[in-house]
């Protein structure tokens, strides 16, 4: 059984999901859901659908973080804009 803090957090996350995320995602087409704000945008994807050369995650996992780490490092040095995330 979850403790009091976990229950409070769970309830808040449910409210946030119900009043923001659910409304924001309602009615989106699959194409809109898959939209990427720019090349190199990061997201969580199946390993075989990755768009960057260096996805990270467990070697045996089908789902990985697909992020252009070189673009992120350039952004940290002020040489590029920080990569954004996809909706999905």
Q: In the chain, what are the domain boundaries?
A: 1-29, 34-88
pLDDT of amino acid 10 = 92
3-state secondary structure of 36: coil
- State the sign of the Cα–Cα–Cα–Cα dihedral 86, 40, 34, 56: negative
Give me 30's structure tokens.
Answer: 């699959």
pLDDT of amino acid 67 = 84
pLDDT of amino acid 9 = 92
pLDDT of amino acid 63 = 92
pTM of the model: 0.56
pLDDT of amino acid 2 = 65
Closest CA to 41 of 11, 6, 75, 71: 71
**Mind listing the pLDDT tens digit of every residue in the chain (88 residues)?**
567 888 899 999 989 888 887 887 888 888 888 788 777 778 888 888 888 877 888 888 899 988 888 888 888 999 988 878 777 6
Give residues with Cβ within 8 angstroms of 63, minimum separation 6: 44, 45, 46, 47, 57
């Amino acid at each position: 059984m979850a403790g009091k803090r976990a229950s409070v957090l769970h309830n808040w996350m449910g409210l946030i999901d119900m009043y923001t995320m659910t409304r924001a995602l309602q009615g989106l087409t699959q194409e809109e859901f898959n939209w990427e704000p720019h090349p190199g945008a990061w997201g969580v994807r199946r390993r075989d659908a990755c768009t960057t050369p260096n996805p990270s995650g467990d070697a045996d996992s089908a789902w990985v973080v697909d992020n252009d780490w070189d673009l992120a490092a350039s952004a940290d040095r002020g040489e590029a804009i920080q990569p954004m995330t996809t909706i999905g």
